[in-house]
Amino acid sequence: MRTTQLGPLEVTVVGLGCNNFGGRVDGAGTRAVVDAALDAGVTFFDTADIYGRQGGSETILGNVLQGRRDQVVLASKFGKPMGDGAERRGSAKYIRHAIAASLERLQTDRIDLYQHHEEDPDTPLAETIGTLEELVAEGKILAYGTSNYAPATLESAKKLAGPAYVSEQSEYSWLERGAEAELMPTCERLGLGFIPYFPLGSGLLTGKVR
């Protein structure tokens, strides 16, 4: 499987989206999918704290990856509502709570790529980026990214960030090509990797739908 660099991370160009683990896909199904991905050479796994009914994906993935955690580049996200009423989901306090919970669910001492799942207009961007930089320095994450950020916010984030800020993740497929207009060119100019989510249109582009 061909690989590419996201900052310090060498990732496979095909990644495994883990949003259905703990929801549509149970523990046994998750193990089968993970086994098939690894057999195919796919080692970039992307999850989030909200996936699988709020923590379910991370919990199942942590169990399935026991004994082979170091075979994968593990990405997760924070910052979408978790049903706990928390606000300012880009604040230092929230991020530190979120990373501790994700590390416990994933049964690991680090997350390779930690991504802010959406912009938080109630928290200064400098606080969000500054906290992520601290987590890098502490070894709890190796790199970080953003998700669903506007191009202008990427510009501001890049000015605040160090080299550990490596990527933006947004929707992109043959069905949803809005990222081509401004978002992807901005990522290229800033030196950020672009990670598409729903690249197969949630299955519509796999050929199974006729």
Q: In angstroms, rounded to a whole number, what is the distance separating the alpha carbons of residues 33 and 51?
A: 16
H runs (alpha helix) in 40-150: 51-64, 92-106, 125-137
> In terms of Cα–Cα distance, which of 68, 159, 143, 141 is closest to 100?
141
> In terms of Cα–Cα distance, which of 8, 105, 152 is closest to 97?
105
Helix (H, G, I), strand (E, B) or coil at 147: strand
Catalytic status, residue 144: no
Catalytic residue among 51, 94, 114, 172: 51
User: In this structure, what DSSP letter does residue 25 have?
Assistant: B
Q: Which two tokens stand for residue 133?
A: 């930089």
Q: What long-range pairs does 155-160 form, CB within 8 A, spacing at least 24?
A: 155/186, 155/190, 156/125, 157/125, 157/129, 158/190, 158/192, 160/125, 160/126, 160/129, 160/130
Residues with a catalytic annotation lie at 51
